[in-house]
Every structure is written in C-alpha cells, then in structure tokens.
C-alpha cells in the first residue's frame, strides 16, 4: 500500500499511515526488511562423521559379524560403539527400520490357516465342557479355584477350591461334574463328551489325561496362541471375579469353597445369558431337556 498513489493528492501513501490503518507496528515491517535470508532447516547438534549410507554399511557389517541371530537395534548400537562408531540408538533404529533390518517378530498364526472355524459354542449341552484354573487370596494364603463350564448353556458344571492347584484337585472338580450330570462315575461314564482345557501342567499331566480316557472323555486342548478357544470358562471367571472374588473377603479356603458352591447355584439359576435371549443357564438346559422329551 505504501507504493500506491493517492488519487486526490497524487502522492504515495506513507508507511506510517498504512501501518496505522492496518494496525500493524512499523517495527515489525522494519524487522522483516532487515531479516537475513535463512538457510534451509537442518538438524541441530553436532554433525556425525558418517553419512547415513556409511552408517548403514557399518550396521550391516555388525549384523554379519555377530555370532547371534535376531539381534535388535540396541545390540547393534552397542556393537558399533565397541567398534569405535559413535552414534545414537534412535538413528540406528531409524536406519535399520528403513532398510528392513529390524529384529524379526512372530507375527500372525505360524500354522497358516486357522486351526478351527472360529466357533466354540456347541449346539447341545454336554457336548463340550471347559475346565480352567484361577486363584484367590484368603486368610490362609493363596487358593486355587477350578471350574467347569458347559460350552452350550454357559452353565457352571462344577467348582472347587483348594490350597494347591494340583492335578488331583483338577480331577476332583471333574469327578464332581460327572457325578452331577451323568448320575454315576465309572468307566465310559461320560462317553462322547469333550473337555476343553489349556496347556497347564495340571491338565496335561498323565494322571489327568488317564482319568479322561477312563471316563470316555475326549481331550480337547485349546489351540496354541488362540486363547479365545477357551473363552467360555474364561468369561465365567470374569463374572465370578466381578460378582464374588473381588468384592468379598474369605478367612479360609473352606469359607471360599462354601461361597463358591452358593455362587454356582445362584449363577446357574439367576444369571442371564444374552445369547440365549437373557435366559439363565438352568433354564436353557431345562428347555433342551423338554425338547428331547417331546
């Protein structure tokens, strides 16, 4: 505007008048006039003697000379320092990432195709049970809690608490469920039933597996690195913790065991399952029994 000529006076507008009309300090204008041309923005700090390309070659050499495989950028950075190459870990990390030299990770399913169809719910009760272990702290110390859940009805089949989570306690919980739902305990008493469990030592032990074979139960270990395969009993444990274990204290393991038995009956008859139309597990089992009788 200071170069524009006024139509009435034939003179250019002064810088003072332009700044006053635009409400701009004249000092700002003078500062920009005197400001030198800035050089392109460069990273601050001391400049390294090696270019990115030279450092990348040193990184490749450190990886080739190392007797180990799968080393990450921290180990490479340390080896460079031992060889007299001084640089930052983040720069080593950036160059290794851009060159695809980072330590390999186990990504995805190593088996390729999924080992199951993604459905763990069965169509009828007593086709598949699931057993698992959790813990709870009592006045007598830590206690182990075993529980068995039906994959169809989400019903708690059996529940047991003990001071130790051994294979014998797991078998005791299994025996409770078999006696309750198959009305006797003996060879092939639960023939046709499958039992889903994880790879814990109590469930993979020879004694527990022999007990399953004696009862005619097919062992069905959960798929490795796919914990959703044992999701039915895990979901029950979440309800158990939120509704009992996290809100109540127990002076002894026996007091915990009695509370678990009461909770099992209350859960089976009063807990509403959304996938069953908000019906309780006991009501779902009763509906299947009525359908079979008809």
How far is Cα 131 from Cα 118, in angstroms, rounded to an integer?
19
Q: Which comes out higher in pLDDT, residue 38 or 27?
A: 27
Question: Looking at residues 63-70, what average pLDDT do you find?
Answer: 86
> How confident is the model at residue 283, as a pLDDT?
95
**What's the pLDDT tens digit per position in 136-173?**
999 999 999 999 999 999 999 999 999 999 999 999 99
Highest mean pLDDT among 34-48, 108-122, 246-260: 246-260
Report how far residue 264's alpha carbon sits from residue 155's, in angstroms, rounded to the nearest whole number. 9
Using 50, 70 and 90 to split pLDDT, how confident is the model at 12?
confident
Q: What is the mean pLDDT of the chain?
A: 87
DSSP secondary structure string for all residues of 19-61: HHHHT--HHHHHHHHHPPPPPPP---SPPPSS-HHHHHHHHHH
Most confident of 40-54, 113-127, 153-167: 153-167
Higher per-residue pLDDT: 118 or 209: 209
Query: CA–CA separation, 294 vs 290, rounded Å?
Result: 6
- The per-residue pLDDT for range 279-294, each reduced to its tens digit, is 999 999 999 988 876 5
Q: How much is the pLDDT for 219?
A: 93
**In whole angstroms, what is the distance from residue 137 CA to residue 216 CA?**
35
Nearest to 97 by CA among 73, 80, 79, 75: 73
Q: Angle at Cα 290 formed by Cα 287 and Cα 292, nearest 5°? A: 110
pLDDT for 4 equals 67
In this structure, the strands spanning 128-138 and 141-150 are antiparallel
pLDDT at 222: 85
């Amino acid at each position: 505007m200071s170069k524009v000529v006024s139509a009435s006076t034939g003179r250019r507008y002064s810088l003072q008048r332009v700044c006053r009309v635009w409400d701009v300090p004249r000092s700002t204008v003078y500062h920009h006039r005197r400001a030198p041309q800035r050089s392109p923005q460069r990273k601050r700090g001391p400049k390294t003697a090696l270019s990115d390309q030279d450092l990348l070659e040193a990184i490749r050499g450190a990886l080739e000379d190392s007797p180990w495989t799968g080393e990450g950028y921290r180990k490479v950075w340390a080896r460079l320092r031992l060889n007299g190459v001084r640089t930052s870990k983040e720069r080593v990390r950036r160059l290794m990432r851009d060159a695809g030299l980072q330590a390999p990770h186990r990504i995805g399913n190593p088996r390729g195709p999924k080992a199951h169809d993604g459905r763990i719910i069965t169509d009828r009760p007593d086709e598949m049970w699931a057993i698992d272990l959790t813990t709870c702290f009592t006045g007598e110390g830590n206690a182990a809690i075993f529980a068995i859940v039906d994959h169809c009805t989400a019903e708690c089949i059996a529940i047991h608490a003990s001071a130790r989570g051994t294979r014998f306690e797991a078998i005791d919980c299994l025996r409770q469920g078999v006696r309750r739902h198959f009305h006797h305990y003996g060879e092939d008493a639960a023939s046709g039933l499958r039992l889903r469990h994880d790879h814990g030592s109590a469930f993979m032990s020879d004694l527990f597996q022999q007990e399953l074979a004696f009862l005619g139960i097919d062992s069905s270990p959960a798929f490795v690195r796919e914990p959703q395969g044992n999701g039915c009993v895990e979901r029950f444990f979440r309800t158990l913790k939120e509704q009992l274990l996290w809100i109540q204290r127990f002076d002894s393991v026996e007091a915990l065991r009695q509370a678990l038995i009461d909770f099992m009956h209350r859960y089976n008859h009063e807990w509403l399952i959304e996938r069953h139309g908000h019906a309780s597990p006991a009501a779902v089992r009763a509906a299947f029994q009525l359908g079979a009788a008809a």
